[in-house]
Each structure stands twice: as structure tokens, then as C-alpha cells.
Chains A and B, each alone.
Chain A
Amino acid sequence: MDYGPNAACERRRRDAMRLKDKVAVVTGGAQGIGRAIALGLGHEGAKVAVADLQADKAEAVADELNRLGAEGLAVEVDVANEASVKRLAQKAFDRFGRVDILVNDAGVYLKASVVAMTEENWDRTLNVNLGGNFLCSRAFVPSMRAQKSGRILSIASGIAHYGAKEFAPYAASKAAIIGFVKSLAREVGPDGITVNAICPGAANTAMPRTHRTEEELMARLRANPLGHVLEPEDFVGAVLYLASDAGSYVTGQAINVNCGSYMT
């Protein structure tokens, strides 16, 4: 970075397409926060593989990216399945030749009290939310190491810090992601790869709607110091900061984007 004479104009130019020629993979990219991130990365010039269990919705996001003038590729993936993640990596490399940014956003949000929680739902939550982070990171770290650069971003949750009644496996999986992020950051830091988590506050997406009435949800979403209802797009800024050169000395951190509802 250079702040010498004439840096001002140069800087403003660079601010526009911060991720030009970079390649990103976004899991859970078909809807909600993942979709917003995929589009936000594309807007900054990145080529984006939109990876999701919901192939048709992923296709729609890839189409949106292409219409933006960015390059989008839809890939069907089950992040909790080793072979499926391997295929995702293969498709991303075949199409784009490299991967610079991995955003681990795929997750499930299953409700039950601990006493009533089935083993199947526990396993599914941990396998998708946490295991997906492991499998996807493992798939892309070797090429990032080889190119001596890379950014891994995991979407955790404020629930990792404050818990949530009847969402114990979700809270456990999200807190575990933060532990995983810190450890991976230590492992891959010497190779110029940063690993960070973003902890969104409750947001206006499909996910919480599976368990709440519309009225309950909106009241809950507004109940934060800034009185703002968080939308999926509201998390994109933090992702871009961490994925761009600006965030190159930040690693192993969990960044709260939650309107001040929780301060770590």
C-alpha cells in the first residue's frame, strides 16, 4: 500500500473493483446471506462459484452474476459430503483455474430442545455447519498454500456467543466454527492465508422464518441498539473488507455485525 503523492486518485480508482480477477467460492450461495455475499463479491469484480444444495436457486444466482457482467458458476454441492465437496473443488478449478476466496456460509438451523433433539438432527447440524467448514477448507487450502495467498471466511453467528434456547446444536456448531477458524488461521498464516469468521446478528432471511411468525420475527429483528432490521446485504461490507487487500493483516478474528446487540 502506498500513500505517497497522488495516492488519493489512485486509491479511489482501486476502491471500485477491489476483487478484480479474484476467484471466490461461496457455499450456501443460493439464498439469503450467501446469495448477497456472492453478488457482492461479483460486484467487486470477482468470479464466483455459487455452491449450494439447491441447484436451481444456485443457477439463478449465477445468472444474476452473469447479468452483472461478473462471471458466475452454479455448482450443486452437499458440503457435508466428502465426494461432493471434491467435485465442487474440481469444477471451480476446471472453470476458473484458481480459487482465492472461500466463503463458508452453508448451514442448517434445526429447532428442538436438547432433551427432544434427535441424534439425526444433531449430526446433521454439526456435519453441515461445522463439517462443511472442515471439508471445504481442506479442499481449497492446498492451492491457496501453493499460490501463497488466500482468504477463508466463515459465517458463524452471534448465537455462538450468546446461545439460543432450543438451538443448542446450532449454537455449538457456530461456536465450534470460531475455534476452527482460530486454529486454521494459525496453521495457514505462514502461507499468507487469512481465516476469519463473521458473526451476523439475527437477519431478515428465510432461516429464522422456519420457526417464527412474521410478527415475532420482525419485533425480534428490530430489538437492537440501532433499531435496524438487518438484511442479507448488510454483511457484505465486512466480507469485502476481509477478502480485499485492506484486510490482509486481520486473521483469526470473529467480527460481529449485529447493530450492537452483542459486544465481545
Chain B
Amino acid sequence: MNKVALITGGGGGIGGAVAHRMAAGGFTVIVADYDHRAAEQVRAEIVSAGGKAEALSVDVTQAREVKALVTDIANRFNRIDVLANIAGGSIYTKRIEELTWAQWKEVIDLNLKGTFLMCREVAPVMQRQKSGRILNTASNYGVTGSALRTPYAAAKAGIIAFTKTLAQELAPNGILVNTVAPGPTDTPRVMEKESPDARRQRWSSIPLGRTGKPEDLAEAFYFLTTAQSAWITGQTLHVNGGVVMP
């Protein structure tokens, strides 16, 4: 029986790398993304590499869509072993006085509410099987803050506290809940906004002297799904080259 990993944002830079890593580790991977073409591409890559995957569409901010997604997966596979909530993003870089209420809610919903909705639907499935790993995605900005990203930093800090709370709630069911906090990472979304010169400039402020690769994050997510991390719960694993040492 194949273990099932559900990955939101699975069509994106970090999510895609995580999907590949889980597939290489033997999971059947559900690549869930708002962008169906991106999810489909990751699925095709995994399958052509000999892995098992499926692509599904979901907007994690919509309770009904989340419920339908999880019900469909639970019905067909009868289990969900790993939930990796990776869908997210800062969307705006704006001063607080320029940020509309709608924009604020958009960022909070995508990052924090999306994580809540996914966990709420998947937790009962994991409770029934008395095992599971939930992996949420924060950011070093959730600890340090980041000028022009007030809702994003707030949402990511919220995810860290949400994770600790859910870890306590689900521990009696043998379910582990942890957060991975990426630092500067070379995803297409980040790289298209930054010139190569600006990137090299940034390297000087990173103790390990380079930005992270999506694969570095994928290894952290994967570690937190294995028997090697069986006694780690409620924690935040920072993968950031030493940019932030909380």
C-alpha cells in the first residue's frame, strides 16, 4: 500500500520540489494547486521519473473546495499520510497605509486561513488512521518581520503558533505537526523580481554565502515525514543558510 502525500502549492517552486522529493521517497503524491497547468506539469515530471502522482485543482481559501478535495482523496485512497501546506505567498509589497482591507484579508486567507482549512479537513482522516504528518510553511519573516509585508509576516507568525497548538491537539492521535520556515530561496517567483546582481549582493548577508535551493527545502519537508523525525512535533525548522537564528 502506497502512502499518500497531499501537497498544496505543489505546482510552485518549493511545492514542486517537495512533490518530487516525496515521490522519490515512495509516496503517491497529490499535487494540488490553484494553477492547474503548473500542477499538471509537476505531475507529468514525477510520473516520467517513475513516481506516482496526480494533479488536482484547489483554492485553499475556499472552504467548500478544500472539503471537496479532501473528501475526494480520502474516498479514493482511503488515507492521507502527509499534508504539506505550501500554498502561500506575500502577494503585495506595500506600506500599511496603502494596503486595502481586501488586500490584507487576501494575504491572511491565502497563508493562514488556507492552512487552517486544509488541516481541519485532513485531521479527521489522520485521526482515523492514528498517524499522520502535517507540515506547514512559515517564513523567516514570521520571526523577524519584513517591512512592506505586514499581512504576510503576521500570517506566517500565526502559522507557527497555529502549528504548536495543533501539535498539542493531535499528539494523542499520533499525528505530528511541524512548520518549515524557508529563508531566501531560488524559486522562479522570487528570482523574476530580483536581478542577478541584487541576488549576489544578498549572498554577502547570508552566513552560508548562498541563497537556498527549492531542493534544500524539499529535504527538510521530507525529513519531517520520515521515521527519523518521529519524536519532533510542534517545532519550526528554519532552512535559511543562517539568515535567522531564532
- Give the B-binding residues of A (Cβ under 8 A): 1, 3-9, 11-12, 15, 182, 185-186, 189-190, 192, 194, 201, 225-228, 230, 234, 236-238, 240-241, 245-253, 255-260, 263-264
Contacts and interface: CB of A to CB of B under 8 A. Distances in A.
Nearest to B161: A263
A225 B240 contact: no
20 contacts: A1-B218, A3-B21, A3-B49, A5-B45, A186-B207, A186-B242, A189-B209, A192-B208, A194-B208, A194-B242, A226-B174, A226-B231, A234-B230, A238-B229, A245-B219, A246-B223, A247-B219, A249-B241, A250-B240, A256-B232
Interface stretch (B79-87, B116-124, B145-153, B164-172): B164-172
Contacts, number: 143
Contact of B235 (A230, A236, A237, A263): A263
B231 A234 contact: yes
A240 B219 CA distance: 12
Contacts of B17: 3
Given A225-B167, A225-B171, A253-B238, A237 B226 contact: yes
A122 to B, nearest CB: 27
Contact of B219 (A1, A226, A230, A234): A1
Interface residues of B, number: 51
B213 interface: yes
Given A1-B213, A194-B208, A237-B230, A263 B242 contact: no
A253 B49 contact: no
A249 B212 contact: yes
Given A8-B50, A192-B208, A258-B231, A1 B237 contact: no
B240 A7 contact: no
Contact of B241 (A245, A251, A263): A251
Given A3-B17, A241-B228, A250-B238, 11 more contacts: A1-B215, A3-B20, A8-B23, A185-B245, A189-B241, A225-B233, A240-B228, A245-B219, A251-B208, A259-B233, A263-B235
B49 A260 contact: no
A113 B140 CA distance: 38
A190 B171 contact: no
B222 interface: yes
Contact of B24 (A12, A237, A238): A12
A226 B130 CA distance: 12
